[in-house]
Structure 1
Amino acid sequence: MTDCVPFTDDFKDPSMEPPIVIGFSVLYSVEFLFGLTGNIGVILFTSRNKKLQTVQNMFILNLALADLIVCIFSLPITPITSIYKNWYFGEQMCHSLPWIQGASVFVATFSLTLIAIDRYFMVVTPHKRRMTRVQARFVMVCLWLVAILITFPYSWYMQLREPEGGYCGKFCTEEWPNEWVRRAYTVFVLIAQFFVPFMIMFYCYARIFKHLKQRTQDKIRKMNERSLILTASMPVLSTVKRKVGTRVDVLEQCRRKCLLLQQTRRNTVVLVLVVLFFFVSWFPHNVASMAFEFSDAEIFSYDGTNYMYLISLISHRVIVAKESHL
């Protein structure tokens, strides 16, 4: 297009300010390196060591693969398009990249959910028959197929268009049959990718926490009962020997109780952090997506400056922080 003007000449956007560009460039570069090396390391280490190929580790392997794809196809591209407001990657990539990104995100979320479910059965119902590795592989294949089908609209409705109004460049944008279909799909993605997995993880880890707490209380109660029985059945010894023996026994009981309580606290912190980390990673992005979809674009503008791209960039940055730290 000749005699065109850059889109940002008429629409002020803080995401193109040099300090912000430099800051996000550094952050995304670091996340890309950590995500690439970390996820490749998990995949190679787990796939080469058969002893580590448990059902839960296979789901973690699936999560690492999905996160690796997100790192490769999202981290270098999304910030470029958000900052420069132009699509440099051609028409085929316009159709395929959003599809690949969406499917990988769904698989990562589904894998986290399956890890929570597997931990639930392992802790709460340990005597029941658990999933085999063959079944786990089948489930992993199904996860990818379901994710690919769910996110197919990202490929079907993405089109490469030149902007109207004499602006330079090309945009890779969604073109749906009508607004109602687009909004319905956005809500569906919110429910399927965020709310349902979050509720399942919350339930599983809440039940695990309750079970571990009850098990700790039962162990402490049995310790107390054992201590009372030993004290009652202790033969008549000299006063000094009884005092020394009782004191040693009390100290040992206290030590064991403290270890149990410390382990329970550690388990509680880990369980809370897993659920909280998922919520904090995805909640800002989903709130932003709903706001972009159902609100007037003017609410993202202040004093002639549009903050939509900056908000999108920040919410995406929160997500990729999760993808690069398993």
Structure 2
Amino acid sequence: MDFDSYYSNDYAYSPVILKNASVWKNLLWRNHSNSCHLIQSTIPDKIDNSSFQLLFTILYLIVWLAAIFGNLCVIYVVSLKQVTLSSVRSVFICSLAVSDILMCLTSLPITAVSLFTRDWVFPRLFCKLSGVFQGGSVFISSFTLTAIAVDRYFFICYPVVEVISFSNAVAIVIFIWILGYCFAMPVGVFSEAEDYSPLCGLFCEETWPDADSGGVSRIRKVYGLFVLLIQFGLPMIISCVCYYLIGQVITEQIEKRKQQEVILPKNQQKFNNRKARSNKMMAAMVGGLVLAWLPMNLINLYRDFSSSEKGSEWFLLIFAACHVVAMTSAVWNPIIYSWFNPLFRDTVKTAFKKKYAQYRRRPTETPVDANRSNPSPHLQPNVLLTVSL
């Protein structure tokens, strides 16, 4: 990659931004020489502004905390057998939660730090591994969402027949994880931590074999279109078809009940509310997928088909905005696919209330009081809580 073309008077770069950029020069284990040039002074971008960096730091932190908390709640409920572990839906929901957590631990922090520093601050090997783990977790999330849509279609449209058994669901999840990392493997294979002297630091770049001097690669274009189709296009189409068919079945069931029973105005309103609630739920499922990942796929496609030598100083800022939106999918998924379930929501509330009550009693409770407040287990009713995810 030729960086000489960036040394131009076209950019009048602010000294304030250059001072802010110098903060990152010796971050972590880096120790750059004074003779190298900061990339911020060579290839300017609006993301170097401290106000933008503060804004995105806050946004990333909010998304990270909300996503980790929400998905850990899902795993907590499933792992402690608060829900039926033999449920097919619980297998897919748990797989989605794990992949979202993995995405928050890899894609979110690594991309955020790289955007702010503008170079690669991590070990060289991580350049290859990060591409595989980031891309793999994204593929896995999209494929799992598709599997959930297909499972719900079979569950509602064919309630008598067990189309997907528990063992089949486990096998599907394993296949999804293997397939997701296989599809992300090309990024790891062609990623290298490069040194572009006289710029300070290393740069984790995708070095495709047929790339020209501007960084444009025909293979990368084909792979970008493949990712757009497999990670976004097909999951969106399959999900839309499944939820449309589910909506049709629910509407037909409601109409049949209206014809078979004498519907009172109160019951009529219940049927209408059920239909509206189902429509809103399915719209949220499809809308969450589209709104979260469409901007990210479009900005990646633009990068694949544009020359890096004529990059806009707004590109990284726009990329950061699209990336934050994409990462919010890890926040919406546990809300849409778990928290909207009333039984799941009540289970989480009950579990936390129980823990909080135990915490409040612990400092003041005496052994005698403890025995009084906890009668013999032989007097306790045996209650099994089952949640259908």
The 8 Å contact of residues 293 and 326 in structure 2, kept in 1 or not, is answered as: yes
The aligned residue for residue 98 of structure 2 is 65
Q: Which residue of 2 aligns with 1:197?
A: 235
Partner of 2:145: 112
Deviation at 1:41? 2.1
Matching residue of 1:313: 320
Residues 193-238 of structure 1: CA distance to partner in whole angstroms, max 9, x if unpaired? 0101100000000100111112112212223xxx4xxxxxxxxxxx
For the residue of structure 2 that corresponds to 1:171, the secondary structure is strand
Shift of 1:185: 1.0
SS in structure 2 at match of 1:75: helix
C-alpha distance in structure 2 between counterparts of 1:267 and 1:63, whole Å: 21
Aligned letter for 2:80? R
The residue aligned with 1:180 is 218
Per-residue deviation, residues 32-85 of structure 1 (Å, max 9, x unmatched) = 112222212211221221743210111010000000001111222111101221
One-letter amino acid of the counterpart of residue 210, structure 1: Q
Q: Which residue of 1 aligns with 2:246?
A: 208
Residue 192 of structure 2 aligns to a residue whose secondary structure is strand
Q: For residues 272 and 164 of structure 2, what CA distance do their matches in structure 1 show?
A: 31
Q: 286, 289, 301: which is aligned to 1:275?
A: 286
Letter of the 1:183 counterpart:
K
CA distance in 1, matches of 2:331, 2:122: 24
Matched-pair contact (CA < 8 Å) for 1:81–1:87: yes
Q: How far apart are the structure 1 equivalents of 2:244 and 2:293?
A: 20
Q: After the TM superposition, which residues 161-310 of structure 1 pair with which residues of structure 2 at under 5 Å, given as runs? A: 161-164=194-197, 166-178=198-210, 179-223=217-261, 227=262, 253-297=264-308, 301=312, 306-310=313-317
- The structure with the greater share of residues assigned to helix is 1
Higher relative contact order (CA 8 A, sep 6+): 1
In the comparison of the two structures, how many residue pairs are matched? 294
CA 50–16 in structure 1, closer or farther in 2 if over 3 Å, else same: same
Determine the structure 1 residue equivalent to 2:24.
none
Matches within 5 A, 1:141-156: 141-156=174-189
Are residues 115 and 19 of structure 1, via their aligned partners in 2, closer, same or farther at CA, if it must alter by over 3 Å?
Answer: same
2:107 to 71, 74, 89: 74
Secondary structure of the corresponding residue to residue 76 of structure 1:
helix
Against the structure 1 CA distance between its residues 297 and 89, is the aligned structure 2 distance closer, same or farther, given a 3 Å change threshold? closer
Q: Percent identity?
A: 26
What is residue 89 of structure 1 aligned with on the other side?
Answer: 122
Instruction: Provide the rounded CA distance (Å) in 2 between the counterparts of 1:183 and 1:156.
Output: 16
- Equivalence for 2:67: 35
Query: Using the alignment, how far apart are the partners of 1:285 and 1:18 within structure 2?
Result: 23
Q: Which runs of 5+ in 1 are unaligned?
A: 228-251
TM-score (normalised: structure 1): 0.86
User: Normalized against structure 2, the TM-score is what?
Assistant: 0.73
Who is 1:17 aligned against? 49
Structure 2: any 5+ residue segments left out of the alignment? 1-31, 211-216, 335-389
Q: Distance in 1 between matches of 2:71 and 2:63?
A: 12
The answer as to 2:15 corresponding to 1:4 is: no
Q: Deviations over 1:167-191 (max 9, x none)?
A: 1111001011112211111111111
CA contact (8 A) 2:77 2:83 kept: no
In the aligned structure 1, how far is the partner of 2:219 from the partner of 2:301? 14
Q: Distance in 2 between matches of 1:203 and 1:21?
A: 40
Please identify the structure whose Cα radius of gyration is greater. 1
Alignment root-mean-square deviation, CA: 1.6
Paired position in structure 2 for 1:98: 131
Are the equivalent residues in 2 in contact too, given 1:160–1:170 (CA < 8 A)?
yes
Asked if residue 124 in structure 1 is aligned to residue 157 in structure 2, the reply is yes
Helix, strand or coil: the match of 2:155? helix
The 2-side partners of 1:190 and 1:31 are apart by 24
> Take 1:68 and 1:126, find their aligned partners in 2: how far apart are those partners?
32
Aligned-pair CA distance for 1:271? 0.6
Kept in 2: contact 1:83–1:309 (CA 8 A): no
- Structure 2 equivalent of residue 248 of structure 1: none
